[in-house]
Amino acid sequence: MSAFVPPFCPWPHCRASSLDTGFQCYRDGTFPRSADGRRVQRYRCKSCRRRFSSQSFRLDYRQQKPQINTQLLDCLVSKVTHRQTARILRIDRKTVHRRLRVFGPALRRWHARFLARARSNGGLSGSFSLDELETFEHDRRLQPLTVPVLIHRATRFVVHLETADLPARGNLCALDQERKLVRERRYGKRASGSQQAVAHCLNALKQCHAPGELLQLVMDQKSSYPPLVRRHFGKQIAALIRESSRTARNTLNPMFPINHMLSMLRDQVSRLVRRSWAASKRKAELRHHLWVFVAWRNYVRPMFNSTPQVSSAMKLGLATRRYQPAELLRWKWPDRMCDSSTRWGQYP
């Protein structure tokens, strides 16, 4: 029997649906879950008198095959395409797509919870690096995308990333030019969202950066970067190192940590592999996939092969241990639930 203690009522219109209000409930029977045979405790809220269960708080709520979730996450960060993942796990490809749409937002909230904890504990300090990765959705020439990534250099901790549109490429052939005009008549002219996406990354860093420390940021020589950095940090900039993208990409290059991270993204996220049929068809799905990678890279994977027991979040002081994939996929609202070290949400 579970020792779960519900922290709030999961029904959205109940006055006890927030952690800020007092919440009282009592046990009201159990039922065997047909998907995995686990006995689940039911509860009844004393405010709205409606019933719910401990399963209402879990990410695998109403999933028919919850046992595949950890294997599915492993495939998503191992350069395995959706179709091949479906073949390996003996499931439908639509199941992979639906689970990714559940995992992505939940793991983004998981990451936001740790950044909020860092902000409350004094913020992040050290040197950071920013660069953009280019990819595309559906069509390489007509629908390119940019993915700005911001990391902590020493620990390779991914602070934030975004996805944004880029204009169609130039020097198009006659057929592509005709297709471009048809697409513009239907969807409008494609504009660049690079500056806005970079601004989102810098704003995320500003929210969790140590208030009393000056910023150290390494980036390439793109002309739009310095104004954005000054707009967000003003006089709180200690060093703004701008390295040419033509410099040899070895360990002596100041951009090596971010270049290494972008190479890892291309190697472990199937949608980013160059010149393959696994390219993303929709920008939103790419964003979900990238946040799965961010959570796995920061909290599950070792920081380096030479430190197998230490994750990037541990080295940065945001976590006390390496998390297991099953822990990342446990809660539906990880930002509103307590850690697994507390009594809330414990399953012996």
- Summarised one tens digit per residue, pLDDT across range 282-312 is 999 999 999 999 999 999 999 999 999 999 9
Count Cβ atoms below 10 Å from residue 327 Cβ, excluding itself: 17
pLDDT of residue 132: 97
CA dist 61 and 298 (Å) reads 25
* pTM for the structure as a whole: 0.91
CA dist 105 and 103 (Å) reads 6
Question: CA nearest 295: which of 271, 270, 319?
Answer: 319
pLDDT under 50: residue ranges of the chain: 1-2, 339-348
Report the share of the chain in percent with pLDDT over 90.
79
